[in-house]
């Protein structure tokens, strides 16, 4: 197996599933409602939905850089604001996560292993490092989502039980 194929597989696993560490993003989000996604389960911490939008933005950034664009995200694109909190909008966000991850993986599959040590764009880290950092970034935020989901649900259960 080529290194590009291994990296693409890791990008798939962290979003779609079959990850060694536990549930991938898609699995974590499968039963999250729009209400849970927008909840501020912890004060001064991003919501699940905000984190998912951030992951999408980051994957889009990497896709742009793979096309040679020296893209840098302004704050409003790095952490987009949720403008529609409906179930339909939440479902569209989940689909956008899947779609953007597929777009990134398609771009990676078109690369040749010989390019991995090249800077992704001038002045930035190598393609190899950037792609591995993208996997790490997705997994880091997946851990946050798992904790926020658990915290929200435990808080809700405590309220029901009068605690």
Q: How far apart are CA 103 and CA 41, in angstroms?
A: 31
Contact between residue 63 and residue 107 where contact means Cβ atoms under 8 Å apart: yes
Average pLDDT over residues 73-90: 94
Q: 19 vs 74, which has greater pLDDT? A: 74
Q: How far apart are CA 91 and CA 82, in angstroms?
A: 13
Output the pTM of the full model: 0.94
Contact between residue 24 and residue 98 where contact means Cβ atoms under 8 Å apart: no
Neighbours of 1 (CB within 10 A): 6
* 12 pLDDT higher than 90: yes
Q: Which CATH superfamily is domain 3-160 in?
A: dinb family like domain (1.20.120.450)
Under the banding of pLDDT at 50, 70 and 90, the label for residue 104 is very high
Q: How far apart are CA 26 and CA 72, in angstroms?
A: 26
């Amino acid at each position: 197996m080529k290194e590009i194929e291994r990296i693409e597989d890791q990008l798939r696993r962290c979003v779609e599933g079959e990850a060694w560490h536990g549930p991938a993003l898609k699995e974590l989000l499968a039963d999250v409602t729009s209400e849970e996604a927008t909840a501020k389960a912890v004060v001064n911490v991003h919501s699940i939905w905000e984190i998912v939008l951030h992951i999408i933005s980051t994957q889009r950034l990497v896709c742009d850089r793979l096309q040679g664009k020296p893209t840098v995200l302004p704050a409003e694109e790095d952490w987009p604001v949720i403008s529609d909190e409906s179930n339909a909008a939440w479902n569209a966000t989940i689909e956008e996560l899947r779609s953007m991850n597929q777009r990134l993986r398609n771009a990676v599959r078109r690369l040749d292993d010989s390019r991995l040590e090249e800077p992704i764009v001038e002045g930035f880290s190598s393609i190899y490092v950037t792609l591995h950092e993208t996997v790490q970034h997705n997994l880091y935020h997946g851990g946050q989502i798992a904790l926020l989901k658990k915290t929200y649900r435990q808080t809700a259960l405590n309220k029901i039980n009068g605690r």
